[in-house]
């Protein structure tokens, strides 16, 4: 290999070459710096506002703040629903290292039972990620102390203080007040439809039943906002702005807690309900359905065990019997029928018929029996109401016909919702030809009409409907819709709602009403024949009413009804409707007891307790003033 | 002009220590600025500052040490340095330690280091050694051999995979060839070839994560919470800084931790947010000052090897700056290149300062007989 030829290096030329290249490189550097600067200028100057907004969007978060729920008072200012601080044990499952270990350790430390743990796991599955799930809805002082000492062992578990609804009268008002409970998926869907999602962004509980549900919009209030600065992990560093929430409206109910408690006591051990209305405006003074249950259980999340027990209870405590119990009205509607007969001139105040204990029609083989086998003899309309003569009303119904009866009774509100401020209401059935065709696909038979006369034959009504209809009768046709809400407690004072009145009953002759109301007064006050005379002996006030005893089971034509032989759940329902004072009505009461027997001996005494309580109170108030 | 005695003494002290005063001034200013930004970006963490100060002191020590070595010595060890670096790269691929999804580290038992850092200096040294053997401008055959010298370590590092470093190494070698008088025709041809090579690289050479980075770069908003998150937050930080900036320690994107990798690769975003466009102009002026000083040293160097090496080290320093700023502002894909002498971190800082040590050696140690 020949040795490489060594060129004589021209150092100056090389130096010049490198210098030229270095200069060019510097120019290139300058160009690239300009490209960089151009891009940075675009970011920092041209699009500055856009990025400034996005930087603020990163760090500033708007946190919703839940409003305090409105309080609920009775008509005398007694607190019925309040907000109390409770301490919950909350777990954020994603922040717990070993959930199973943590849960079992917590369970033994705080003595949490296995059912609660199961419920917790169910709740966890339906909860969004990184949201706290309650392990204990409310902690005792002891549990709080035990946890506080051991808190360091349980990352991701903490005690949270919250305002929770509390119902001091517990089961006494469940069916009226209802309760609030945690917002579930269905509630969320409903809120979305109503466009209320934002307003509920921080709210945990929503009215599920009763007044709490019906007046949710009033009670809830308006959400507030807290503008906070957060870091990238969502940790709040400081509050920039605070817009306080508007608390919910404090409500005043027509309920009088003393009357309500009288009803609770009177119904003890019975299945049934009491409704007491103020006949001057339709306000619900008392409404109780027995058995009831403690609504506070639902507020803190009822355990599956307790809930299943309530569902399985054959006495059905979850039902509000006053508005959802649909019973044959039985003889309680005889005054209404009598008024129709008088108005239609089918009978007169003095026309009489002979009751021999049974009713027959020509060419019909069936015999309809009176509750008194020997009959009541000659009866006019007054006596028919006072002794609750069946035969008289079989004949009256037959002569009126179902069409006239159905039309008239609908004016009293039978077969329709009363319009009370509760969603838990049944409409009952006011049978008609059309109804029977539609519901049963059967024609209307003459026999159906005859037993309509004693409030049977498919006819069902709720105790509230009965009370409302008697109120309309006592008010001589003025029709108020019953209402629980009395008014709102504003900073300026109490704002009362005007009575909710609708179209009155069409009455041709007021004297016809006099006849019927007088007869109802005799039911209570006739010392010999009145079916409620014993129950209302020696009252300080004069009341009027009507008893009812609804057969739940068909007795054969020749059989005697023997209470002892009939199964307990087929025994008669005891009903009573009444009002007082007779000459200037203030209150209306309806009582319905299931399988209790006769209305006069079982339901009427309860109505009396309610009226006595009302008038004693009025007297006390009067004396105090 | 008369100088006072004190000034003369100072100058002579720097001279005796073989330190280029202007360069040192630029570097120290940059480092101090870096510490200020790290203090802000790291959440006022004193321990972080301490570690960085120790690293800086060590790196300055390395620089001073290398400044004492005569440039001829660098040329003599070029080949040895390059070959042993190459062997270590191969060793890394064979037995290297995996960290952050890439095989970059060589565990020597008492310490771990990245052979690719050695190559950042070894490649320009080797190419400069080779082309300076012959008269400049370099002949086509030697250019080709130079390319091979650059390409082999570049591919080995790209395979680790470490796209950022392989980019820096490739450019350091190519700068030598460019400064050595690569013909413009060839430059045009190579640009064309690179354009054609791109699809081949995409299909056969790039790893999935690298492709993802490029895709994210092209459209960061397509995945704002995933791979696009870094670049979007970085752009928000820079953009929201505006002309005057939010003020030191006042950047919301950095202080509230929305910005990822705040004190390392994305430190420029923190700087831009807090000091604004005015701050950026000042920072770029500082970098430009160092680069111009470096190029001046290159032009004034005595022999071809020194000229080429000094020029390459300086221009590679600029590549760091350009790639880092480009990637955090969305101009380039994110390839993991730190902002030189400002970003927190050790290895690349030591290499950079070693490069400046060589520059100082070239600048201050000239044989008197050549003139």
Predicted local confidence at residue B369, as pLDDT = 46
CA distance B69 to B49: 31
pLDDT tens for A491-511 read 888 899 999 988 888 899 999
Binding-site residues of A for Zn(2+) sit at: 355, 370, 376, 389
Q: Which residue of B has its CA nearest to A54?
A: B236
- Which parts of A362-414 fold into alpha helices (H)? 381-386, 390-400, 402-411
Predicted local confidence at residue A273, as pLDDT = 95
Q: Which residue of A has its CA nearest to B293?
A: A26
Determine, yes or no, domain membership for B287: yes
- Which chain A residues are Cβ-neighbours of B178 within 8 angstroms? 21, 25
Write down the residue that tokens 């450019």 correspond to.
B171
The beta-carbon neighbor of B256 closest among A10, A22, A232 is A232
The beta-carbon neighbor of A40 closest among B238, B257, B307 is B238
Across the interface, whether the CB atoms of A18 and B236 are under 8 A apart is answered: no
CA distance A23 to A36: 20
pLDDT at B360 over 80: yes
Q: Which domain holds residue B47?
A: 21-366
Instruction: Give the other-Cβ count within 10 Å of B100's Cβ.
Output: 8
Q: Which residue of A has its CA nearest to B329?
A: A40
pLDDT at B109 over 70: no
Predicted local confidence at residue B370, as pLDDT = 43
The beta-carbon neighbor of A44 closest among B242, B295, B298 is B242
The beta-carbon neighbor of B238 closest among A15, A29, A44 is A44
The beta-carbon neighbor of A9 closest among B135, B178, B325 is B135
Across the interface, whether the CB atoms of A52 and B308 are under 8 A apart is answered: no
Average pLDDT, chain A: 90
Predicted local confidence at residue B107, as pLDDT = 64
pLDDT at A439 over 60: yes
Determine the average pLDDT of the residues in A231-251: 87
pLDDT tens for B282-341 read 999 999 999 999 999 999 998 899 999 999 999 999 999 999 999 999 888 888 889 999
The beta-carbon neighbor of A33 closest among B257, B284, B311 is B284
Predicted local confidence at residue A118, as pLDDT = 86
Determine the average pLDDT of the residues in B98-127: 75
> Whats the size of chain A, residue-wise?
625
Residue of A16, A17, A22 to mutate when probing chain B, most B C-beta within 10 A: A22
Q: Which residue of A has its CA nearest to B330?
A: A39
What SS3 state is found at B211? helix
The residue among A190 and A4 whose pLDDT is bigger is A190
Predicted local confidence at residue A11, as pLDDT = 81
The beta-carbon neighbor of A19 closest among B239, B280, B299 is B299
- Which chain B residues are Cβ-neighbours of A19 within 8 angstroms? 299
A222: closest CA among A199, A204, A241, A239?
A: A199
What SS3 state is found at A354? strand
Predicted local confidence at residue A4, as pLDDT = 53
In which order are the strands placed within the sheet that holds B112-113?
B97-99, B102-107, B112-113
Structure tokens at A14: 């090389």
Predicted local confidence at residue A565, as pLDDT = 62
Predicted local confidence at residue A125, as pLDDT = 80
Among candidate residues A289, A331, A406, A469, the one labeled active-site is A331
When pLDDT is cut at 50, 70 and 90, the band that residue A564 belongs to is: low
Which residues make Cβ contacts (< 8 Å) with residue A392, sequence separation at least 6?
A353, A355, A376, A379, A381, A384
pLDDT tens for A523-542 read 999 998 899 999 999 999 99
Just give the CATH number of A67-253.
3.90.1310.10
What SS3 state is found at B70? coil
pLDDT tens for A596-610 read 888 889 999 999 999
Which residues make Cβ contacts (< 8 Å) with residue A310, sequence separation at least 6?
A293, A302, A317, A318
Cβ–Cβ < 8 Å for B143, B186 = yes
Structure tokens at A620: 């006390």
Cβ–Cβ < 8 Å for B339, B318 = no
CA distance A460 to A329: 6
Binding-site residues of A sit at: 355, 370, 376, 389
- Which chain A residues are Cβ-neighbours of B362 within 8 angstroms? none
Determine the average pLDDT of the residues in B270-290: 96
Of chain A, the percentage scoring pLDDT greater than 90 comes to 63
Cβ–Cβ < 8 Å for B322, B72 = no
Across the interface, whether the CB atoms of B322 and A32 are under 8 A apart is answered: yes
CA distance A64 to B38: 36
Which residues make Cβ contacts (< 8 Å) with residue B231, sequence separation at least 6?
B216, B217, B220, B328, B330, B334
Determine the average pLDDT of the residues in A288-315: 90
Predicted local confidence at residue A14, as pLDDT = 86
- Catalytic, A331? Answer yes
CA distance A562 to A556: 12
Across the interface, whether the CB atoms of A43 and B284 are under 8 A apart is answered: no
When pLDDT is cut at 50, 70 and 90, the band that residue A8 belongs to is: low
Determine, yes or no, domain membership for B16: no
Helix B46-67 / helix B21-41 crossing angle, nearest 10 deg: 160
Which residues make Cβ contacts (< 8 Å) with residue A370, sequence separation at least 6?
A355, A357, A358, A359, A376, A389, A390, A391
CA distance B345 to B340: 10
When pLDDT is cut at 50, 70 and 90, the band that residue B5 belongs to is: low
pLDDT at A5 over 60: no
Helix or strand holding residue A130 (H, E): none
Domains of chain A by residue range: 67-253, 257-292+327-486+500-555+568-624
Query: How far B368 CA lies from chain A's nearest CA (Å)?
Result: 16
Q: Which residue of B has its CA nearest to A30?
A: B288
Which of A275-284, A298-307, B134-143 has the highest average model confidence (pLDDT)?
A: A275-284
Across the interface, whether the CB atoms of B311 and A40 are under 8 A apart is answered: no
The residue among A411 and B211 whose pLDDT is bigger is A411
Across the interface, whether the CB atoms of A33 and B288 are under 8 A apart is answered: yes
Average pLDDT, chain B: 86
Structure tokens at B100: 């952050």
pLDDT at A108 over 90: no
- Three-state SS for A149-161 is HHHHHCCCEEEEE
A33: closest CA among B76, B89, B318?
A: B318
Which residues make Cβ contacts (< 8 Å) with residue A244, sequence separation at least 6?
A65, A224
Query: How far B237 CA lies from chain A's nearest CA (Å)?
Result: 7
pLDDT at A214 over 60: yes
- Which chain A residues are Cβ-neighbours of B298 within 8 angstroms? 18, 22
Query: How far A206 CA lies from chain B's nearest CA (Å)?
Result: 34
Helix A334-343 / helix A402-411 crossing angle, nearest 10 deg: 110
Structure tokens at B195: 């354009």
Cβ–Cβ < 8 Å for A15, B307 = yes
Across the interface, whether the CB atoms of A25 and B242 are under 8 A apart is answered: no
Determine the average pLDDT of the residues in A85-99: 84
Across the interface, whether the CB atoms of A17 and B256 are under 8 A apart is answered: no
- Which chain A residues are Cβ-neighbours of B179 within 8 angstroms? 18, 21-22, 25
Give DSSP secondary structure letters for A15-84: HHHHHHHHHHHHHHHHHHHHHHHHHHHIIIIITHHHHHHHHHHHHEEEEEEPPPPPPEE-TTS-EEEEEE
pLDDT tens for B187-239 read 888 888 888 877 777 777 777 777 776 777 777 776 666 667 888 999 999 99
Query: How far A312 CA lies from chain B's nearest CA (Å)?
Result: 50
A454: closest CA among A392, A400, A403, A406?
A: A392
pLDDT at A2 over 60: no
Residue B4: burial class (beta carbons within 10 Å; 0-12, 13-18, 19+): exposed
Helix or strand holding residue B248 (H, E): none
Across the interface, whether the CB atoms of A58 and B257 are under 8 A apart is answered: no
At A488, give phi and psi (nearest 5°). -115, 145
Predicted local confidence at residue B371, as pLDDT = 38
Across the interface, whether the CB atoms of B308 and A41 are under 8 A apart is answered: no
Question: Beta strand pairing status for A250-253 and A72-73?
Answer: parallel
B135: closest CA among A452, A368, A4, A490?
A: A4
- Which chain B residues are Cβ-neighbours of A237 within 8 angstroms? 256
Predicted local confidence at residue B186, as pLDDT = 84
pLDDT at A572 over 80: yes
Across the interface, whether the CB atoms of A36 and B135 are under 8 A apart is answered: no
Predicted local confidence at residue A566, as pLDDT = 65
Query: How far A416 CA lies from chain B's nearest CA (Å)?
Result: 57
Cβ–Cβ < 8 Å for A486, A422 = no
Residue B252: burial class (beta carbons within 10 Å; 0-12, 13-18, 19+): buried
Write down the residue that tokens 């009763």 correspond to.
A210
Count of domains in chain B? 1
Query: How far B295 CA lies from chain A's nearest CA (Å)?
Result: 7
Instruction: Give the other-Cβ count within 10 Å of A108's Cβ.
Output: 9
Torsional sign, CA A369, A373, A374, A379: negative
Of chain B, the percentage scoring pLDDT greater than 70 comes to 88
Architecture of the CATH domain A257-292+327-486+500-555+568-624: 3-Layer(aba) Sandwich (3.40)
Query: How far A157 CA lies from chain B's nearest CA (Å)?
Result: 26
CA distance B138 to B140: 7
Give DSSP secondary structure letters for A275-328: EEEETTT-BEEEEEEES---THHHHT---HHHHHHHHH-TT-TTS-HHHH--B-
Distance of CA A58 to the CA centre of its chain: 44
Query: For residues A148, A149, A152 and A157, what is the CA-based torsion angle, rounded to 10 degrees?
Result: -30
Instruction: Give the other-Cβ count within 10 Å of B112's Cβ.
Output: 14
- Which chain B residues are Cβ-neighbours of A58 within 8 angstroms? 233, 236, 252-253, 256, 258
Determine, yes or no, domain membership for B5: no
């Amino acid at each position: 290999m020949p040795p490489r030829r060594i060129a004589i290096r021209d150092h100056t030329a090389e130096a010049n070459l490198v210098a030229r290249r270095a200069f060019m490189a510097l120019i290139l550097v300058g160009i690239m710096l300009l490209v960089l600067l151009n891009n940075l200028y675009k970011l920092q100057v041209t699009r500055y506002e856009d990025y400034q907004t996005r930087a603020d969007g990163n760090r500033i978060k708007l946190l919703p703040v839940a409003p305090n729920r409105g309080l609920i008072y009775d008509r005398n200012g007694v607190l019925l629903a309040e907000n109390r601080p409770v301490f919950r044990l909350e777990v954020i499952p994603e922040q717990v290292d070993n959930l199973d270990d943590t849960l079992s350790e917590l369970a033994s430390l705080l003595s949490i039972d296995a059912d609660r743990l199961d419920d917790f796991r169910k709740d966890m599955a339906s909860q969004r990620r990184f949201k706290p799930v309650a392990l204990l809805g409310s902690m005792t002082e002891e549990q709080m102390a035990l946890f506080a000492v051991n808190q360091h062992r349980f990352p991701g578990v903490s005690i949270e203080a919250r305002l929770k609804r509390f119902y001091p009268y517990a089961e006494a008002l469940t069916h009226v007040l209802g309760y609030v409970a945690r917002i579930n998926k269905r509630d969320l869907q409903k809120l979305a439809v109503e466009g209320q999602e934002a307003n509920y962004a921080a709210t945990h509980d929503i009215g599920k039943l009763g007044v709490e549900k019906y007046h949710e919009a009033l009670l809830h209030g308006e959400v507030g906002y807290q503008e906070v600065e957060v870091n990238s992990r969502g940790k709040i560093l400081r509050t920039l702005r605070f817009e306080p929430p508007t608390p919910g409206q404090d409500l005043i109910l027509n309920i009088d807690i003393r009357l309500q408690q009288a009803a609770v006591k009177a119904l003890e051990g019975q299945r049934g309900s009491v409704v007491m209305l103020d006949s001057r405006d339709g306000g619900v003074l008392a409404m109780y359905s027995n058995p009831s249950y403690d609504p506070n259980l639902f507020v803190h999340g009822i355990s599956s065990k307790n809930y299943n027990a309530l569902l399985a209870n054959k006495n059905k405590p979850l039902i509000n019997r006053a508005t959802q119990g649909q019973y044959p009205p039985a003889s309680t509607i005889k005054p209404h029928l009598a008024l129709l007969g008088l108005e239609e001139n089918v009978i007169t105040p003095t026309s009489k018929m002979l009751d021999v204990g049974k009713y027959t029609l020509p060419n019909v083989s069936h015999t309809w029996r009176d509750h008194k086998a020997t009959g009541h003899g000659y009866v006019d309309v007054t006596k028919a109401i006072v002794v609750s003569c069946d035969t008289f009303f079989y004949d009256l119904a037959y002569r009126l016909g179902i069409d006239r009866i159905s039309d008239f009774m609908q004016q009293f509100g039978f077969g329709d919702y009363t319009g009370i401020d509760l969603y838990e209401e049944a409409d009952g059935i006011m049978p008609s030809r059309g109804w029977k065709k539609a519901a049963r696909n059967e024609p209307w038979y003459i026999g159906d009409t005859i037993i309509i006369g004693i409030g049977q034959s498919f006819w069902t009504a709720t105790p509230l409907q009965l009370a409302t209809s008697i109120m309309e009768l006592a008010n001589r046709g003025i029709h108020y819709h019953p209402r629980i809400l009395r008014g709102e407690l504003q900073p300026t004072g109490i704002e009362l709602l005007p009575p909710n009145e609708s179209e009155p009953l069409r009455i041709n002759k007021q004297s016809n009403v006099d006849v019927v109301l007088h007869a109802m007064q005799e039911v209570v006050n006739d010392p010999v024949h009145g079916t409620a005379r014993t129950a209302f002996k020696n009252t300080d006030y004069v009341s009027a009413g009507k008893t009812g005893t609804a057969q739940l089971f068909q007795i054969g034509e020749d059989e005697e009804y023997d209470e002892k032989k009939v199964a307990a759940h087929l025994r008669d329902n005891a009903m009573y409707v009444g009002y007082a004072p007779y000459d200037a009505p203030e209150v209306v009461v309806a009582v319905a007891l299931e399988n209790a027997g006769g209305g006069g001996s079982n339901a009427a005494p309860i109505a009396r307790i309610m009226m006595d309580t009302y008038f004693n109170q009025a007297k006390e108030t009067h004396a105090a003033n | 002009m008369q100088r006072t005695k004190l000034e003369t003494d100072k100058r002579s002290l720097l001279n005796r220590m073989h330190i280029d005063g202007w360069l040192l001034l630029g570097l120290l200013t940059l480092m101090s600025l870096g510490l200020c930004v790290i203090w802000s970006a790291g959440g006022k963490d004193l321990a972080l500052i301490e570690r960085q100060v120790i690293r800086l002191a060590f790196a300055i020590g390395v620089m001073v040490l290398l400044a004492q070595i005569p440039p001829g010595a660098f040329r003599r060890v070029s080949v040895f340095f390059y070959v042993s670096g190459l062997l270590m790269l191969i060793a890394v691929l064979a037995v290297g330690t995996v960290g952050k999804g890439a095989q970059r580290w060589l565990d020597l038992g008492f310490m771990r280091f990245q052979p690719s850092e050695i190559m950042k200096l070894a490649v320009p040294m080797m190419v400069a050694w080779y082309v300076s053997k012959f008269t400049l401008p370099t002949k086509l055959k030697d250019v080709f051999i130079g390319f091979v010298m650059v390409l082999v370590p570049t591919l080995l590092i790209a395979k680790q995979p470490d796209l950022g470093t392989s980019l820096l190494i490739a450019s350091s070698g190519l700068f030598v060839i460019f400064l050595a008088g690569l013909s413009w025709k060839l430059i045009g041809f190579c640009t064309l070839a690179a354009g054609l090579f791109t699809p081949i690289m995409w299909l056969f050479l790039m790893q999935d994560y690298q492709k993802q980075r490029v895709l994210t770069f092209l459209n960061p908003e397509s995945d704002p919470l995933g791979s696009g998150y870094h670049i979007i937050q970085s752009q928000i930080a820079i953009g929201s800084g505006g002309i005057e900036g939010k003020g030191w320690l006042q950047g919301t994107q950095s202080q509230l931790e929305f910005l990822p990798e705040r004190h390392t690769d994305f430190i420029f975003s923190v700087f831009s947010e807090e000091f604004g466009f005015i701050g950026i102009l000042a920072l770029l002026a500082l970098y430009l000052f160092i680069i111009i000083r470096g190029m001046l040293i290159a032009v004034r160097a005595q022999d071809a090897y020194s000229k080429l090496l000094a020029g390459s080290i300086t221009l590679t320093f600029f590549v760091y700056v350009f790639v880092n700023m480009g990637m955090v502002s969305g101009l380039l894909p994110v390839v993991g290149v730190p902002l030189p002498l400002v970003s927190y971190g050790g290895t690349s800082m030591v290499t950079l300062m070693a490069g400046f040590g060589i520059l100082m050696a070239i600048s201050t140690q000239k044989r008197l007989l050549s003139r």
